Amino acid sequence: MGGTWRENTYPGLTCDVPSHAYTYSFEPNPDWSRFLPPGPEVQGYFERTAKKYQVEEMIQFNQEIIRCEFKDGRWHLETKSGLTDVADFVIAATGVLHHPSFPKIKGLDTFQGDVLHSARWDHDIALDGRRIGVLGNGSTGVQIVSALAARAGKLTHFQRTAQWIFPVDNVAFSEEQKAALRNDRALLKSLQNEETYLANVERFTNAVLDANSPEILEIEAIARNNLEQSVTDPLLREKLRPTYRAACKRLIYSPDYYRAIQHPNAELVSDGIECIEPTGVRTQDGRLHELDLLVLATGFKADQFMRPMNVTGRNGLPLNEVWAKGPSAYLAVAIPDFPNFFMLNGPTGPVGNFSLIDIAEQQWGYIAQLMELVRKGECREVEARHEALQAYDIARKEAARKTVFGSGCSSWYLDAEGIPSTWPWSQRRFKEEMSAAKLDAYVLR
């Protein structure tokens, strides 16, 4: 339970979406400790919510689904431990960023110190006073460096591409503020409503639709000002200066990275990596950076979704064959030839600097409409039409090329052809699509 927040436990783990917006709509939480919630608090929130709504008792833990097959009008499931089940519907809520991506760097397997991926943290490995190298400067690498710079004997941050860092004040909520929220549910709800968080999301997601929109230029100006004001050494400042549009890669919100990287223990290394040797990382300038611990904050394989689960649709059609060129789904939810199979946070859905809980809730509202058709006896199977997916994909790719994500940087948002695979339209359009399912896009049997 908890997905991202269960699998990631690295030091400094923080959700960069405002805490009061990072909740289910039906379960606001007055007790967040800060504006940006620490990862373990988010995990605790999910666990508490699952208990409160008696979801926990429906979960069979530690069961890996290995087979999910559509046969004789129903889904046949099998787990690794041999359990089987038959279901009318399957909803895959298996997440996006959960298969760690390991860099292919010569000599990585020869390193004799400790090495770990950020999403597989080993808390038995010592940190204090050690020579720590962090590879990667996405949201994860930046948070780890911020947490460890003062603890390490020496911290070396290996950067391949500079990142835009957006300033944020991660204020702590006082006991008085929490008590006020506990006693006033309307006030608590207002923190996630249209005028506050959602209005900001709307502004941000409209801005990213056009790489040259005034809003994107404004975001870039704020991030540039953050760099100019926060980093005193001109050489370091130039190393940290990105050469692409802000928000092209997922924008990083950080209150403390620039401070951390200027800590006397810290060094930013932007020379390319030549190889890894038994005692450290050798960069292309010939320097050997000796390390005790190497942290790979190198991200995830974002195109796997529910795989390696073996999913087969109508007539034994394997999902791997359908997704051979890359994953796709009508409105990110449904796949032709896979009747009564739906996804939460599936491919081509909205991802970015906002709450995926909100996205999943909207998708659930949409899926519930389709399931209702079967429940009411109007049909037994609901399946997206091929033409609907094809038209959606053509329009989606055309729109995606214009977004800031497609403006000339590499990121996990891009598919194998280099086209952003994220929802390329406004949040309002997404909300409209999710609120009323258009049944002509489906075959009802």
The residue ranges that bind ligand NAP (CB under 6 A) are 14-16, 97, 103, 105, 118, 135-141, 143, 160-161, 250, 273, 297-299, 410, 412
What is the chain's length?
445
Residue nearer to ligand NAP on the CB measure, 377 or 418: 418
Q: Say if residue 308 is preceded by a cis peptide, omega within 30 of 0.
A: yes
| Helix (H), strand (E), coil (C) string for 320-380 | HHHCCCCCCCECCCECCCCCCEEECCCCCCCCCCCCHHHHHHHHHHHHHHHHHHHHCCCCC
| Helix (H), strand (E), coil (C) string for 170-185 | CCECCHHHHHHHHHCH
* Two structure tokens written together for 205: 């997601």
Residue nearer to ligand NAP on the CB measure, 93 or 374: 93
Which single residue brings its beta carbon nearest to ligand NAP? Answer: 138
Query: How many beta carbons lie within 10 A of that of residue 376, not counting itself?
Result: 8
Taking every pair of Cα atoms in the chain, the longest distance, rounded to a whole number of angstroms, is 70
Minimum separation from the CB atom of position 280 to ligand NAP (A): 15
Residue nearer to ligand NAP on the CB measure, 15 or 147: 15
Residue nearer to ligand NAP on the CB measure, 207 or 367: 207
Residue nearer to ligand NAP on the CB measure, 318 or 408: 408
Minimum separation from the CB atom of position 108 to ligand NAP (A): 9
Residue nearer to ligand NAP on the CB measure, 298 or 403: 298
Residue nearer to ligand NAP on the CB measure, 135 or 334: 135
Minimum separation from the CB atom of position 419 to ligand NAP (A): 17
Query: Within 13 A of 320's CA, how many CA atoms are on the CB side?
Result: 8
Amino acid (1-letter code) at residue 371: M
Minimum separation from the CB atom of position 126 to ligand NAP (A): 23
94 φ, ψ (degrees, to nearest 5): -90, 0
Angstrom distance (rounded) from CA 401 to CA 389: 18
DSSP-derived letter for residue 73 is T
DSSP-derived letter for residue 87 is E
Minimum separation from the CB atom of position 259 to ligand NAP (A): 18
Minimum separation from the CB atom of position 315 to ligand NAP (A): 36
3-state DSSP assignment of residue 95: coil
Minimum separation from the CB atom of position 34 to ligand NAP (A): 12
